[in-house]
Amino acid sequence: MKVPVPLRIFALTVATTAFYTLVGQLVPQKEVQPPKETVLKKDMTPDELLKAGREVMEGKGLCFTCHTVGKSGALRFPDLDGIGARAGSRVPGLSDVDYMAQSIYEPGAFIVPGFNPGMPTINKPPIGLTDQEILAVIATLQSMGGKVTVTLDSKVWPLGAGAAASAGAPAGPKS
Amino acid sequence: MNTRRLALGSAVLVVLALLATVGLIRHVMSLEYRAPYRSDAPQTTPRADAVKDAAEAQAKADREKPYVEETYRRFPVVGSRVAVWVLAQLHLLFAAFVLAVPIFALIIEFIGWWNRDPRYDRLAHEFTKLLSVSFSLTATFGAFLLFMLVVLYPKFMNYLTHVFSPTFAPYVLLFFFEAFFLYTYYYGWGKFHPVVHLLLGLGLNLVGTAIMLIANAWLTFMTTPAGVSESGAVISTWQAVHNYTWMPINIHRLIANVAFGGSIAAAYAAYKFLGAETDEERAHYDWMGYVGNFIAICAFLPLPFAGYYLASEIYAYSQTLGLTMMGGAFSWLFIIQAVLIGSLFLGANYYLWLGMGRVDASARFQGYIKYLLILVAVCFGVWATPRSIMATVSETRAMGGASHPQLGYLGVMSAKNTAVNILILTTYVSFLLYRRSARTPTVSWARLGNRLQTLIALGAGGVVIFLGVYGYFVEAKVRIGLSIPQVGSVLFAMIAVTAIDVLMYRNAKSLGETHWGRIHPASQYVLIFLAVTFTWLMGLMGYVRSGLRQHWHVYGVIRDTSVDAFTPTLGFATKVVSATVLCFFLLIGFVFWLASLSDHKSSGHGEAS
């Protein structure tokens, strides 16, 4: 039986489309929800604050879209492992908290050598973290190899307002 | 006396009779049925009171109802996003076709006029025949899309109107001119002086491109907004138009439209070829399919470069946006894209190789095909290799991470850029072999020319591979910049080799005939496969361009707070793309059928006369 040409063309169209649809089903399936707000309370324990900071970094802050933790090699953006230890020595005159706050509020001010500028201003849309969320993030970053001194009561921005927060963390040798 | 008494008595009698009649009538009327007497006082019951209170409360609520601007409305069953998605994609597919066909129809018509060759004029006319119904469908889907957007996303559309209202009137005016030029170009075929007709075609192309530029401004603004304050107030409409991705999208779409339009026109030719009853018809439609496919592939080759320009502008606007696209939620989409583009390259090369069958002296080049096929397959494999693999915990442990210890190296951009550049070079070589198959050069420097061409092609391939490998050993800042010399070397090779070839094959000796129509029917199904793949690819890339904004209507300015604010799985997205592609092919099949009807009518008239 000879199959009419239009029917063959239709079958080919459906088969091709079905093949690409199948390819689409074979790749990992992930539904990305809009970021949820992390609840921050003044009476949080340090551990709760660090956990909340991590949640913000993974969710609304989108930090891990670009940054890695514990990876080396030809990275596109600086790895965050040990950031708490080296932050105080990145920029002469800036404590660890100052450096982290500047990186978040004014990311173009200092670019880690070997990398291109690319960090967005985190307290403005589309990310738009609140000051409180940023404090939680800084506390979490401090915990990566350093001592956590930031609380939700700290004032870290503009620079100079955070003397109390950074007092507990000596700036260390400047590179 | 008696007479007076009689008169007086009569008058009295008349009066009495009159009074009696009136009395009688009143009496009769008093006997008429009357409803029994009921009290006028309202008969209240608890239910009646409640109904009355409810009515009064409703009336009061109606009077005092405040006006609240709706943010979203819901489309039944599939939801608002999918409804708008399918409509927008169908509108764009038809619009792409309507914008693309006049570009190459005009060029083919010009070639025919310049060379005094009526075959080209007929071919251009045949391409244009597909336009009028497609134009109506474009406009219909455009209007449908607009209504759906206004109904389903009123607040967002209000904002877009706030930013772009100055562009609306020019858009409508240009659409009017588009209709004018399109219909005079099509219906005026053979009725105007050729130069006037060519100018009409030029006008059609200019107006069509201008329409595309305006529409592109709206959609690119949504992804990379500019010219507005942090709260979204307009500072400069021109800046909003001329945002980061406007020009890259203009270039990318223009080229992609031509590739897509060429492939659809080639599919039409394949449809006609397969149904042809005479050798003459087969020869004509084989040639038409070849030309359509040639246009599609020529436009397709520089497309990755235009895509690179677009992606680099997205990164320049926002690294976060760029990384969401290439390394985040959409990274696996580019593996699907690799399968599609690999299929396109394989199909395009296969068609060229099958096409050698219509050339008498092509056997001398057919030995090269297996090497080209190996190259295409290897590059396809590299491009489709993902960086990270979905694996079980034990598999991940065995690999030492989410990436395969060896294959993982093929998943990064250095490998993929290298693969796509080699794919382009290979396809170009396939075309070059096909072009040469029936001829041999007669110029004295032919041997030198051949060696020079080989040296340039191998040199470009060497540069591409060297830079690809070098990319693994340098920091990100340097590696990103390596794509440009890779692309540049391939472009240089294609331009230089073509220039040498054109000069070398001037007055070339013919080794045999090209028998149009003498080709395996499988080639025609390849053309249809390519058209479906191009369409599917457009649907997929349309999704990533739009979906990249994720939970934003206008990135960083107007947030999507609807129930559809989430980014769906790629599996769901591919189903929507497939549904759209099938709808498109059903509709374009209708266009093909209508175009064929006019053929029957023409031939019928021919026979009658």
Under an 8 A CB cutoff, do B327 and A65 touch?
Answer: yes
The Cα angle at residue B556 between residues B554 and B561, in degrees rounded to 5:
65
Contacts of A28 in chain B (CB under 8 A): 332, 390, 570
Confidence band of B404 (pLDDT split at 50, 70, 90): low
Which pairing describes strands B552-554 and B558-559: parallel, antiparallel, or unpaired?
antiparallel
Under an 8 A CB cutoff, do B472 and A74 touch?
Answer: yes
DSSP state of B443: S
Which residue in chain A is spatially nearest to B272 when comparing CA positions?
Answer: A5
DSSP state of A32: B
ipTM associated with this complex: 0.83
Q: Does B560 touch chain A (CB under 8 A)?
A: yes
- The Cα of B413 is separated from the nearest Cα of chain A by a number of Å equal to 12
Predicted local distance difference test score (pLDDT) of residue B435: 85
Q: Does B488 touch chain A (CB under 8 A)?
A: no
Residue of A3, A7, A17, A127 best to disrupt the B interface, most CBs of B under 10 A:
A17
Q: Does B536 touch chain A (CB under 8 A)?
A: yes
With H, G, I as helix, E, B as strand and everything else as coil, classify residue B190.
Answer: coil
CB A120 within 8 A of CB B318: yes
Q: What are phi and psi of A49, to 5 degrees?
A: -65, -45
CB-nearest partner of A118 from B319, B336, B582: B319
Q: What are phi and psi of A36, to 5 degrees?
A: -90, 150
Q: Does B315 touch chain A (CB under 8 A)?
A: yes
Interface A-B: count of C-beta contacts within 8 A: 138
Contacts of B565 in chain A (CB under 8 A): 34
Q: Which ranges of B505-521 would DSSP assign to H, the alpha helix?
A: none
Give the Cα separation of B597 and B609 in Å (integer): 18
Q: Which ranges of A27-146 would DSSP assign to H, the alpha helix?
A: 46-58, 63-66, 83-86, 96-105, 131-142
Q: What is the pLDDT of residues A95-153, one digit of tens each?
A: 999 999 999 999 999 999 888 888 888 998 889 999 999 999 999 999 999 999 999 99
Q: Does B603 touch chain A (CB under 8 A)?
A: no
Domains of chain A: 46-167 (1.10.760.10)
Q: What is the pLDDT of residues B424-445, one digit of tens each?
A: 999 899 889 888 888 899 999 9
Kindly report the three-state secondary structure assignment for every residue of B166-190: HHHHHHHHHHHHHHHHHHHHHHCCC
Residue of A8, A10, A21 best to disrupt the B interface, most CBs of B under 10 A:
A21
Predicted local distance difference test score (pLDDT) of residue A172: 36
Under an 8 A CB cutoff, do B532 and A12 touch?
Answer: yes
Which residue in chain B is spatially nearest to A4 when comparing CA positions?
Answer: B275
- Would you list which residues of chain A are within 8 Å, Cβ to Cβ, of chain B? 5-6, 8-10, 12-14, 16-18, 20-21, 23-25, 27-35, 62, 65-66, 74-77, 114-116, 118-120, 124-127
CB-nearest partner of A25 from B390, B528, B571: B571
Q: What is the pLDDT of residues B53-76, one digit of tens each?
A: 999 999 999 999 998 889 999 999
Taking residues B150-164, report their average pLDDT. 96
Which residue in chain A is spatially nearest to B576 when comparing CA positions?
Answer: A21
pTM metric for this prediction: 0.83
Percent helix, strand and coil across chain A, each to the nearest 5:
40, 0, 60
Give the Cα separation of B241 and B359 in Å (integer): 50
Predicted local distance difference test score (pLDDT) of residue B366: 81
| CA-CA-CA-CA dihedral for B260, B266, B268, B271, to nearest 10 | -130
DSSP state of B327: T
Contacts of B477 in chain A (CB under 8 A): 114-116
- The Cα of B579 is separated from the nearest Cα of chain A by a number of Å equal to 9
- Using a 10 angstrom Cβ sphere, with 0-12 exposed, 13-18 middle and 19 or more buried, the burial of residue B407 is middle
Under an 8 A CB cutoff, do A5 and B327 touch?
Answer: no
Contacts of A16 in chain B (CB under 8 A): 529, 532-533, 536
The residue whose two tokens read 């550049």 is: B421
Confidence band of B392 (pLDDT split at 50, 70, 90): low
CA distances from B290 to B101, B109, B221, B314, B532 (A): 15, 16, 38, 36, 17
CA B293, B294, B295, B296 torsion-angle sign: positive
Q: What is the pLDDT of residues A6-52, one digit of tens each?
A: 999 999 999 999 999 999 999 889 898 998 888 898 889 999 999 99
Residue B150 has a CB neighbour count (10 Å cut-off) of: 14
Residue B302 has a CB neighbour count (10 Å cut-off) of: 18
The Cα angle at residue B150 between residues B148 and B153, in degrees rounded to 5:
90
Termini Cα distance of chain A: 82
Contacts of B285 in chain A (CB under 8 A): none
Predicted local distance difference test score (pLDDT) of residue B288: 93
CA B45, B46, B49, B50 torsion-angle sign: negative
Nearest Cα to Cα of residue B181 among B198, B166, B156: B198
CB A89 within 8 A of CB A174: yes
Contacts of residue B96, Cβ cutoff 8 Å, sequence gap at least 6: B253, B256, B257, B260, B261, B538
Find out whether the peptide bond into B386 is cis, omega within 30 degrees of 0. no
Predicted local distance difference test score (pLDDT) of residue B365: 85
Under an 8 A CB cutoff, do B477 and A115 touch?
Answer: yes
Packed helices B446-470 and B483-504: angle between N→C axes, nearest 10 degrees? 170
Taking residues B598-607, report their average pLDDT. 50
Which residue in chain A is spatially nearest to B562 when comparing CA positions?
Answer: A34
Percent helix, strand and coil across chain B, each to the nearest 5:
75, 0, 20
Under an 8 A CB cutoff, do A9 and B339 touch?
Answer: no
Contacts of A9 in chain B (CB under 8 A): 271, 274, 525, 528, 589
Q: Which helix (H) or strand (E) holds B553?
A: strand B552-554
Q: Does B232 touch chain A (CB under 8 A)?
A: no
Mean pLDDT estimate for chain B: 89
Q: Does B397 touch chain A (CB under 8 A)?
A: no
Which residue in chain A is spatially nearest to B273 when comparing CA positions?
Answer: A5
- The Cα of A8 is separated from the nearest Cα of chain B by a number of Å equal to 9
CB-nearest partner of B318 from A18, A33, A120: A120
Percent of chain B with pLDDT over 70: 93
CB B89 within 8 A of CB B580: yes
Under an 8 A CB cutoff, do B335 and A75 touch?
Answer: no
CB A84 within 8 A of CB B485: no
- The Cα of A26 is separated from the nearest Cα of chain B by a number of Å equal to 8
CB-nearest partner of A28 from B327, B332, B552: B332
Contacts of residue B477, Cβ cutoff 8 Å, sequence gap at least 6: A114, A115, A116
For residue B318, which amino acid is it? S
Taking residues B387-406, report their average pLDDT. 63
The residue whose two tokens read 């390259």 is: B345
